[in-house]
Amino acid sequence: MNERAPAPGAGLVLRRADGAVFVGVRTSKARSWPGTLAFPGGAVDVDDHALPLARGAADAPEHAARAAALREALEEAGLVVVCTHDGARAAADAIDALHAALAAGRPLGAALAATGLVLDDRALVPLSTWTTMEGSFAVRRYLLSVDHDDALAWRAPLVGELAACGFRAPAAIAADWQAGRAFLLPPIRDLVLRLADVESSTIVDDVGLARLRGPVAEADRCRRDLSPGVVLLDARTPTLWPATHTNTPVLGGGDVLLVDPATPYDDERARFDALLRTILDGRRVAGIFLTHHHHDHTGDAARLRQVWGCPVYAHALTAAQVDVAVDAVIDDGHVLALPAGPGGPARRFVAVHTPGHARGHLCLWEPDLALLVAGDMVAGTGSILIDPPEGHMNTYLCSLQRLLALAPRALIPSHGPLLVDGVARLQQQLDHRRARHEAVAHAIAAGHATVDDVLAAVYGVDTPPAMWAFAARSVVAIAQALVEDGRVVEDDGRYVSRS
């Protein structure tokens, strides 16, 4: 848990009289969790404390949060909620001038002063404050009710952090989440489900507000249900930079399957156990699935096997390389059927053998959701290390192409956030690898004969020096692939192009 006080944040729930709310999908430009559905919102900036508000608040944090909620709506959605200093409705030309100034890079405070406008917070209704699971943010959430969206001033968004924006019925959003068509983080899911309860009310009265402001169960606050029966936990592990944690998907609506529990740290194990038991709420761990043998994927498997008395599943090549006892060997095409229960419907995961990063690497494919538990085939940030002799580049590329053929809608990597543009991300990784292949081939053709020479020529520009040792292993993997392809000849550690 974060020992520092959580940073302040703010979010805006814009609601029409028909119950529809304004939402968008986080893009790759968002600070976190691209591909998940969100309301406009973000961190409170230092400058938010000084932004002028029509109503404001004597409490400085409340003033800044109200300003931040409206600023984020303006930046992310293009919703301009302003008025004149005396509370009159802002003229369209003044709003245009404000937007033009902001688009030109002028700070919001200066742009408001130049146009004689203030942020209009008079209709904001405080809902609740949500503290994130990690304790990193405390987000104050506000409701803004409007008769219809034509009553609002809309301009082009100033940042590209939300896409596919528009008004949607909360019940429809909830149905999409239930079916796995939409991914909602805990604070968004919580509000959407509460908003669905009051969707039929034209005006959110005191009873409705009480529902929206009601207490949040700890099990709901701490869980990341990507869809019912697919929950994502993570834990700090001794993994490779820039990653710091390994994801542990918790799969199944009844008794569950844990994927890659890996932390070796006592404090993280205690935190993980507490979260897991809260999420399970009386259910049990039915098994542990290992994607491959690396220590940042297996470090807690033996302990949890003993704690829960459950079997461990892995590929035979993985079983031969890990300390934990593997109770059932899994190969390509093996189906793990997880029954329905209080946590969600029945799920069916198919093992997909994807060697290249590791010989025994397995992914899990859920065809109904088009969801791939990808292990170390892709990373949320950066790329995957292919380290010979265990790693084999051409095999890895073939495995990527096999996963592409599945056309996954979303990927759960072992490190980093959910990747919802599954096909695009796999293609991006494949294209990146091919580009590196060509760069290494060109460097060798230009006379860079050793690994160190190629490393400096290819990776020296865009790779931090601290990562050069790992980049050197990638050079070896690519050079070996080029030798296999007949494009390069290797002689005692020196490489020469055939062409």
pLDDT in tens, the chain (499 residues): 446 789 999 999 999 999 999 999 998 788 777 888 999 999 999 999 999 999 988 899 999 999 999 999 999 999 999 999 999 999 999 999 999 999 999 999 999 999 999 999 999 999 999 988 767 889 999 999 998 666 789 999 999 999 999 999 999 999 999 888 898 888 999 999 999 999 988 888 888 999 999 888 776 776 788 888 999 999 999 998 878 899 999 999 999 999 999 999 999 999 999 999 988 989 999 999 999 999 999 999 999 999 999 999 999 999 999 999 999 999 999 999 999 998 889 999 999 999 999 999 999 999 999 999 999 999 987 789 999 999 999 999 999 999 999 999 999 999 988 888 899 999 999 999 999 999 999 999 999 989 999 999 998 877 888 888 999 999 999 999 999 999 999 998 899 998 6
Cα separations (Å) of 118 from 15, 67, 93?
22, 10, 15
Contacts of 269 by beta carbon, 8 Å cutoff, 6+ apart: 235, 263, 300, 303
Contact call for residues 35 and 25 (beta carbons, < 8 A): yes
3-state DSSP assignment of residue 247? strand
The vertex-90 CA angle with 89 and 91, nearest 5°, equals 115
Cα separations (Å) of 315 from 287, 292, 461, 462, 463?
14, 8, 38, 36, 33
Return the sign of the alpha-carbon dihedral for residues 190, 196, 198, 201.
positive
- C-alpha 124: how far from chain center: 29
3-state DSSP assignment of residue 114? helix
Ordered by where they begin, the domains of the chain are 7-198 (3.90.79.10), 225-420 (3.60.15.10), 437-497 (no CATH)
Helices (H), 158-265: 170-178, 186-197, 206-212, 218-222
pTM: 0.84
> Residue 97: phi, psi to the nearest 5?
-65, -40
Cα separations (Å) of 473 from 104, 386, 389, 433?
45, 7, 10, 14
Strand partners, 410: 371
Contacts of 105 by beta carbon, 8 Å cutoff, 6+ apart: none
**DSSP assigned state of 419:** B
**DSSP assigned state of 50:** G
Task: Report the C-alpha gap between 359 and 396 in whole angstroms.
Answer: 10
